[in-house]
Amino acid sequence: MAIIYCGKTNNQSYYIKEADLHIKSVQELAYFIYNYAILISNSFITKNLIVYIDKSLGLTKLSSDLNEMFNRKENLVNMLTHILLNSNYYDREEVGEFRKKLIELLSLPEEEYVKRAGDMLFGLKKYEKAISQYNKIMKTNDKALQNLAFCYAKLQFYEQAADYIGELYKRTRNIEVLREAYYALKLAGNVDKIYEYEKNISEELLADWEYEIVSRIIKTRRSDELKNIEEIFLLGHDYIKENISNRIKIWKEKYRYIG
């Protein structure tokens, strides 16, 4: 395995609208193609991308090849493969595997293809983009519906998240799912809405969930506090002195107040 030369840091980036991200080198472009091929549409190779490869990345030969392929309407797989082979990033064997993987992907049923695209975008934290994928199949795919709810939760739209989980509960009647809907509603500050998803819910169960939520909050707070202290220690002696003394002051204030 060799160490790969990537040239100087490039300040000009290229926007990949399919994934809502920017790339700055041919290696990043190749990595995106290789790992996120499912997000690539037929309009991925554009004149703009070819100009970027030429002018900003300085890869004249590759851009000239792509231009020729583009003009003679070469198929997308061949163009992507050509980029990978000329990226100084993947070797022939890896590119061969990529072609196989791509062919397998293209033979997937439509619903599975869209679901995987959504999952990829979720992994990239591109939640709005993921929502648009999951929306296409949520009526027939429970997992997509669940992930749709997660996307809204990640975007802190807790009530919408709860609505989608509630919808999933109606389909599955799984009490664990209902509990997740309750948590989302708790974060949204609208717990009473739980009765819209399930009318027959016992007070005892709600009390259990409340207890669990409080335990989770306490645990999270503790770990945040611990994490802060760990970060302070990593920043060195002077920083520790200053910050620990501030922290002790805050604790003292708290105890005085309690007293």
Partner 1 sequence: MIIGISIDENYAYVSTNLDENVMQIPFAIGKNLVSNNWFIGDEAKNENIDSTDIVIDKLYYILENDGNARIGDKSYEAEELTSIFLKHLILKFPNVEYVTIVVRNCNIKILEKLHNALMACIEDKNKCKVTTFSEAFISYIKSHTSEYYDNPIALFNFTEKALNYYELIRYKSADNLEYWKVNTKEHLSLPLDLLTGDTGKRVCDNLLCEFAKHSIQEVAYNNIILSGLGFVEASSYREFMTYVCGITEVNTDINFFAKAAVMLSRDLMEGNFSEDIVLMTDARTDVALRVNVRVSATEDKLELVKPGSEWFDIDEYSFNIIVDNEKELRFEYLKVIEGIIKEFVVDIPGSDKLRDDKTNEYEVSLKFLQQNLLQVTLTDIGFGEFYESQIKSSSREIEL
Kindly state whether residue 35 participates in binding partner 1, applying the rule CB under 8 A: yes
Closest CA relative to residue 45, chosen from 71, 21, 23, 76: 76
Task: Using CB under 8 A, pick the residue from 18, 26, 28, 50 that binds partner 1.
Answer: 28
Kindly state whether residue 18 participates in binding partner 1, applying the rule CB under 8 A: no
**CA distances for 24 relative to 34, 60, 81, 178, angstroms:** 16, 16, 19, 44
Q: How far is the CB of 8 from partner 1 (least distance, A)?
A: 6
Judged by beta carbon, residue 6 or residue 229, the one nearer partner 1 is 6
- Please report how the helices 237-258 and 203-234 are oriented relative to each other, as an axis angle in degrees rounded to 10: 140
Closest CA relative to residue 193, chosen from 151, 217, 147, 158: 158
Alpha-carbon Rg for the chain, nearest whole angstrom, is: 25
Judged by beta carbon, residue 8 or residue 199, the one nearer partner 1 is 8
CA pair distance 152, 247, nearest whole angstrom: 35
Kindly state whether residue 1 participates in binding partner 1, applying the rule CB under 8 A: yes
Taking a C-beta distance cutoff of 8 angstroms, is the pair 181, 169 a contact? yes
Q: How far is the CB of 87 from partner 1 (least distance, A)?
A: 10
Give the interface size with partner 1 as a residue count (CB under 8 A).
22
Kindly state whether residue 22 participates in binding partner 1, applying the rule CB under 8 A: yes
Closest CA relative to residue 153, chosen from 194, 125, 117: 125
Kindly state whether residue 162 participates in binding partner 1, applying the rule CB under 8 A: no
Task: Using CB under 8 A, pick the residue from 18, 23, 177, 180 that binds partner 1.
Answer: 23
Kindly state whether residue 27 participates in binding partner 1, applying the rule CB under 8 A: yes
Residues 6+ apart with CB under 8 A from 161: 149, 150, 152, 153, 184, 188
Kindly state whether residue 31 participates in binding partner 1, applying the rule CB under 8 A: yes
**Binding segment for partner 1 among 7-15, 67-75, 220-228, 248-256 (CB under 8 A)?**
7-15
Residue 61: count other Cβ atoms within 10 Å of its Cβ: 10
Kindly state whether residue 24 participates in binding partner 1, applying the rule CB under 8 A: yes
Judged by beta carbon, residue 201 or residue 232, the one nearer partner 1 is 232
> Restricting to residues 89-128, which ones interact with partner 1 according to CB under 8 A?
89, 124
Kindly state whether residue 236 participates in binding partner 1, applying the rule CB under 8 A: no
**Hey, what's the torsion of the CAs at 212, 215, 217, 223, to 10 degrees?**
-140
Positions that interact with partner 1 (CB under 8 A): 1-9, 21-25, 27-28, 31-32, 35, 88-89, 124
